[in-house]
Amino acid sequence: MPLVSMRQLLDEAAKGGYGVGAFNVNNMEQIQAIMMAAKETKSPVIVQASRGARKFAEDLYLFKLIQAAAELNPEIPIAMHQDHGNSFETCESAIALGYTSVMMDGSLKADGKTPATFEENVAITKQVVDYAHERGVTVEGEIGVLGGVEDGHGAGGSGLDHITDPDQAVEFAERTGVDALAIAIGTSHGAYKFTSKPDGSVLKMDVLIKIHKYLPNTHLVMHGSSSVPKELQDIINQYGGKLNPTWGVPVEEIQLGIKNGVRKINVDTDNRLAITVFVETPEKFDPRDYMKPAREAMAKVVAQRMTQFGQASHAGDYKPVSIEEIAKGYKNGSLVTKPLVSK
């Protein structure tokens, strides 16, 4: 099966009332772990790469690995997504490679650190939408700014510094025509999200619910949504790691989000923790001896998330539509890009 449209994956998730995990990758073992989990749970999946991942692995290596995953698992719908594109050129290069979805994170300037103005965000996101939709490629935008920094991207600070304004979210969706909208509700990039289990004072689920009420047919995205399980932290520290106590986003809060319009959930830190290699048998130096259990550990976490997000068992629900057909749908208006607003 060729790589499929993320728009179709999210549209089908909306029909089924479930979310789809978007899992970041940097190398072959991570891709294999995600596909092991997708095959086990019969889940559609979004595989995504940051700018840092593309640089680390080299573009063609990484993309060919994703193509191999699609060929080896023809029963699994896979969308390939550019995570946190910082410019038109970044998104354009991903589309040229064959990515079926891109994120234009215009909430930050091209340096990936400085918050942009609302008008700057609208302008650059609309430019990417026009270009991508002509080619059948899905576009995710962001309004509001997440806290923290990961992979060289992020404004730093608290997740509460730039919470999404629901009225701006409506205007942004209407003016850009994005397929998916990432919002800031208090989450942050990286492992160190919260110093205690988050509650309503730091995780603004009421804002998410209000945005969904205003934009009932817009696919919402939760970034910074790793749960950072204590058991993974404990394993790392048991073998000499030095992780400070930290809390991620509780799965039950993500599930509440899914009930209120969240269709894409970004997970990276949990997988990084799971695949981090700590050697129980230090006499073994063959990478296969330690990468195999590391890969299996990550696959276990991904399968668990797929089940919790509700995407498990939905891989065979629908026949993938070609990217060429998606492009025709954008052009003739049968694939709606302007949101239904309910205010």
179 catalytic, yes or no? no
What is the predicted pLDDT for the residue at 200? 62
Task: Report long-range pairs for 171-174 (Cβ below 8 Å, ≥24 apart).
Answer: 172/118, 172/121, 172/122, 172/125, 172/141, 172/143, 173/215, 173/218, 173/339, 174/338, 174/339, 174/341
- From residue 104, alpha-carbon distances to 82, 110, 306 in Å are 9, 10, 25
Question: pLDDT (tens digit, 9 = 90+) per residue, 181-234?
Answer: 999 998 765 555 566 676 666 688 999 999 999 999 999 999 876 766 777 777
Name the superfamily (CATH) of residues 6-332: Aldolase class I (3.20.20.70)
Neighbours of 251 (CB within 10 A): 16
**End-to-end Cα separation, the chain, in angstroms:** 41
How far is the C-alpha of 203 from the C-alpha of 194, rounded, in Å?
10
What is the predicted pLDDT for the residue at 130? 98
For residues 315 and 291, the model is more confident at 315
Average of pLDDT values for 19-25? 96
* Mean residue pLDDT across the chain: 88
DSSP 194: B
pLDDT band of 272, cuts 50, 70, 90: confident
pLDDT at 283 over 50: yes
Contact, 248 vs 273, CB < 8 A? Answer: no
pLDDT at 39 over 70: yes
How far is the C-alpha of 114 from the C-alpha of 149, rounded, in Å?
12
**Could you state, in order of their start, the residue ranges of all structural domains in the chain?**
6-332
How far is the C-alpha of 328 from the C-alpha of 134, rounded, in Å?
8
Lowest-confidence segment of 146-150, 179-183, 296-300 by average pLDDT: 146-150
**% of residues, the chain, pLDDT over 90:** 65
CA 244 to chain centre: 25
What is the predicted pLDDT for the residue at 340? 86
Q: 């499929």: which residue's tokens?
A: 4
Question: pLDDT (tens digit, 9 = 90+) per residue, 97-133?
Answer: 999 999 999 999 988 888 899 999 999 999 999 999 9
How far is the C-alpha of 205 from the C-alpha of 208, rounded, in Å?
5
Catalytic residue among 11, 83, 179, 270: 83
Contact, 75 vs 315, CB < 8 A? Answer: yes
For residues 281 and 203, the model is more confident at 203
pLDDT band of 156, cuts 50, 70, 90: very low
pLDDT at 171 over 80: yes
| Angle made by CA atoms 276, 44, 224, in degrees to the nearest 5 | 50
How far is the C-alpha of 114 from the C-alpha of 310, rounded, in Å?
35
What is the predicted pLDDT for the residue at 149? 47
Question: pLDDT (tens digit, 9 = 90+) per residue, 50-108?
Answer: 999 999 999 999 999 999 999 999 999 999 999 999 999 999 999 999 999 999 999 99
Lowest-confidence segment of 118-122, 193-197, 286-290, 321-325 by average pLDDT: 193-197
pTM value?
Answer: 0.91
What is the predicted pLDDT for the residue at 225? 67
How far is the C-alpha of 195 from the C-alpha of 199, rounded, in Å?
11
